[in-house]
Structure 1
Amino acid sequence: MNSRDDTYFLREFVANHKQIFDKTNEKLIYSISNIACLCTHIAYLLMFRVLGVKELVIFNLFSVLFYMMCLVFIRLGKAGPSLLYLADIEVIVHAAFATHLLGWQPDFAMFFILIIPATFLTYTQRIYIPFIIASVSLGLFLYFKLAMPYDADVKYVFEDNDIIRAIQIVNAIIGVFVMLVAGISNIFIREYKEFQLVDQRETFKEQASRDPLTHLFNRRAMNENIRAIRRDCSPRSQYVIGIGDIDNFKRINDTYGHDVGDKVLVYVSNQFINFIPEGGYAARWGGEEFLFVIPNASIEKGVAFTDKIHKMLRSHVFEIDDVEFGVTMTFGVSKGIPVDKIDNVITTADKRLYKGKNNGKNHTEFTD
């Protein structure tokens, strides 16, 4: 695969994945994580209401309100890693409060450990934040391990082993579910950010290679395209290079102004874009001068391309206020083979262009 194919493949790859991530954008990803946490705390609210643990009923009521507020922020477009980190902190505080009231048996302390990998999955430019949250979570786990024996006296003790086992199962299911959703969501966010960066790089690369007015390739990018064509040519093949110049363009600028001159340049550029054969490239070479290259083509094919430009320009009338005018172009066309120096092929086309200028303009020169 050559460099042009690599570039095309990368652009297609980015475009396709950008469509995927546009459908599952950041709002949706954050919403899924947030709704998972909201549903979890609604379940806890009902469970503790049945068990009669008033403090945790109140705590989970505030947790439900917190996640509902997060959904509002997400809908307002204010979603970000900070919401996920706040959710991590809420999970840690909930685990600490539940362990303090219920002891070790219901196994809320496992959330101290489960939250650590989810914290590091969160995409952030502030890399120290996951370390702080993970340290706090691990510190609380060690604190309870050292300060609270397994059979410590706590405010709520459940004598029925079935209740304890049911709470443990619920915690296990909720823990796995929430961490799975959080992990998948955060992975999508990371991928979304990475593709945003790739897309930005490709956009900047595209902008750096294009003339901002005409959207044709600029001189630097065109030189790279010509080198790629020359490199990819088979030993017996040839390519065509042509240089065209808008006749009397300075008079257009002086008479009608540079805004009109720009409109003429854009119109001419659009003809290059419309008629350039497949595999060919066109560039704004400088000022009102344009260059094109067509691979695997005879000089007749290059002349046929310029004839199409001539035909369109001769049939088009520019209207400025009550004044109408037309424009013409003169071309010089030359052919090259892989062993030829690119500069020599361009110089030949340029000489033929000025020969055409001296021979009446408004036509294509392709011989010496």
Structure 2
Amino acid sequence: MGKLLEFLVNKKNKVFLVTCLYVHVTSLLFYAYYDAPYLAITNAISSLMYVILLITDKAGSDRNIMIAFIEIIFFSVTCEMLTVGTYGFIFYPLGMVAVIFHLVSTTKAKRALLQLLAIIGTFVIYGVNITGFIPIKSIANDLSEFQAFIVASNLVVTVSTMVYVSFLYMAEQEKNKALLEYNINHDQLTGLYNRRFFYTAIETIRKSTRLFSLAMVDLDNFKRINDTYGHECGDEVLKALSEIFTESLDENDIAVRWGGEEFILFMPGIDEKEAEGRLEHMLEKIRVCEVKFEDKTVTFTATIGLASCDDPHKYEQVINEADQNLYYGKNNGKNRIVTHIPK
């Protein structure tokens, strides 16, 4: 079911065009069977047009949808004029007045123009209905025997389209909401959590756990990497380091870009010894990591300050302790883990 919903959202243009083709083909067969040749011909021309639109459809392009929209308006007006009576073709342009703003992402001016065209088409059909005007009576078909069925069919197609587009709108809103939340809580370069998320998460985590370990990680000689290879290369190094964090940590751990080339790894539920073993394994991955940038291969190391505590309310104190351990490690060889500063 999830894959179907994803398909309906990601392939909305194709779904819309296929639906229009299906409606025209079934209408073609219906009108041909019940001897309404001009209505059948109109649907045959429309069906051929949709086949062409599907063949030439390009992902992300609204052109074919806009062409289909114009076709729907002219088709509705034409069919209403080829029948004696009212058969609900007015539902199509009326529905498209609402649909167009959510189905295409073109400029507001173009969408407004298309909407105006739909409104004009709606009033033309309404005028035909109330006046009983039939331009060419000799070819108009009296399908009063099937009027209720045709009206209901046109109404169902229009309502179904509007429901589908409403679903697309809600899905787009959910996607935008998720994207906004992601951008609020994540660092844009590395994809790791940011400080804002860390402070929010820590308030929740400390209600469910007491023991935790926290590591401050800093890339060694990062300024030299930027100065030697450029900031773009430095960004790639930060991304590579972040990927190592993601691969090395458990699902309950939190990796945070604290600022610049400095990171925090929050590991709830584990003591200092277990955390140190996990970080040693991670440090080995960092030491052998190679970043390919243009025609160069860049290697790097990191220094880690580690601290643990059994009182999550003291996390700020633990951050400070880990930072002091990191500072000591940076000034005493780098490329290592420091858990306690020698006295």
In the other structure, the counterpart of 2:6 is 19
C-alpha distance in 2 between matches for 1:294 and 1:157: 77
1:40-98 CA-to-partner distances (Å, cap 9, x unmatched) read: 1453245446xxxxxxx446424421342133124322432662453244223322342
Shift of residue 24, structure 1, vs aligned partner: 5.8
C-alpha distance in 2 between matches for 1:346 and 1:157: 83
Taking the TM superposition and a 5 Å limit, the aligned residue runs for 1:158-169 are: 167-169=143-145
8 Å contact 1:241–1:334 — kept in the other structure? yes
When the two structures are superposed, what TM-score results if normalisation uses the length of structure 2?
A: 0.75
Taking the TM superposition and a 5 Å limit, the aligned residue runs for 1:82-231 are: 83-84=68-69, 86-99=71-84, 108-111=85-88, 115=92, 118-119=95-96, 122-124=99-101, 126=111, 129=116, 131-144=119-132, 167-203=143-179, 205-207=181-183, 209-217=185-193, 221-231=194-204
- Residue 96 and residue 223 in structure 1: after superposition, are their counterparts in 2 closer, same or farther (change >3 A)? same
In the other structure, the counterpart of 2:53 is 73
8 Å contact 1:84–1:122 — kept in the other structure? no
Structure 1: runs of 5+ lacking an equivalent: 1-12, 50-56, 100-107, 149-153, 159-163
Counterpart of 1:194, as a letter, is M
C-alpha distance in 2 between matches for 1:296 and 1:285: 21
8 Å contact 1:92–1:111 — kept in the other structure? no
C-alpha distance in 2 between matches for 1:289 and 1:140: 72
In the other structure, the counterpart of 1:10 is none
- Residue 110 and residue 202 in structure 1: after superposition, are their counterparts in 2 closer, same or farther (change >3 A)? same
C-alpha distance in 1 between matches for 2:54 and 2:76: 19
- Of structures 1 and 2, the one with the larger relative CO (CA 8 A, separation 6+) is 1
Taking the TM superposition and a 5 Å limit, the aligned residue runs for 1:299-318 are: 299-316=272-289
8 Å contact 1:285–1:291 — kept in the other structure? yes
> SS of the counterpart of 2:278?
helix
- Residue 343 and residue 82 in structure 1: after superposition, are their counterparts in 2 closer, same or farther (change >3 A)? farther
- Residue 242 and residue 135 in structure 1: after superposition, are their counterparts in 2 closer, same or farther (change >3 A)? same
In the other structure, the counterpart of 2:15 is 28
8 Å contact 1:96–1:109 — kept in the other structure? no
C-alpha distance in 2 between matches for 1:38 and 1:321: 55
1:151-198 CA-to-partner distances (Å, cap 9, x unmatched) read: xxx76899xxxxx7xx33434333333432343244223323432343
Counterpart of 1:34, as a letter, is L
C-alpha distance in 1 between matches for 2:140 and 2:323: 94
1:136-155 CA-to-partner distances (Å, cap 9, x unmatched) read: 433332223xx89xxxxx76
1:203-250 CA-to-partner distances (Å, cap 9, x unmatched) read: 454355444443333xxx333134223323237613332111122333
* 324, 333, 339: which one aligns with 2:313: 339
How many corresponding residue pairs? 322
In the other structure, the counterpart of 1:353 is 326
User: Percent of pairs identical after alignment?
Assistant: 20
**RMSD of aligned Cα (Å):** 3.9
Counterpart of 1:138, as a letter, is Y
Taking the TM superposition and a 5 Å limit, the aligned residue runs for 1:190-339 are: 190-203=166-179, 205-207=181-183, 209-217=185-193, 221-234=194-207, 237-258=210-231, 260-316=233-289, 327-335=300-308, 337-339=311-313
C-alpha distance in 2 between matches for 1:156 and 1:86: 21
- Residue 355 and residue 16 in structure 1: after superposition, are their counterparts in 2 closer, same or farther (change >3 A)? farther
C-alpha distance in 2 between matches for 1:179 and 1:297: 62
When the two structures are superposed, what TM-score results if normalisation uses the length of structure 1?
A: 0.70
> Greater CA radius of gyration, 1 or 2?
1
- Residue 346 and residue 18 in structure 1: after superposition, are their counterparts in 2 closer, same or farther (change >3 A)? farther
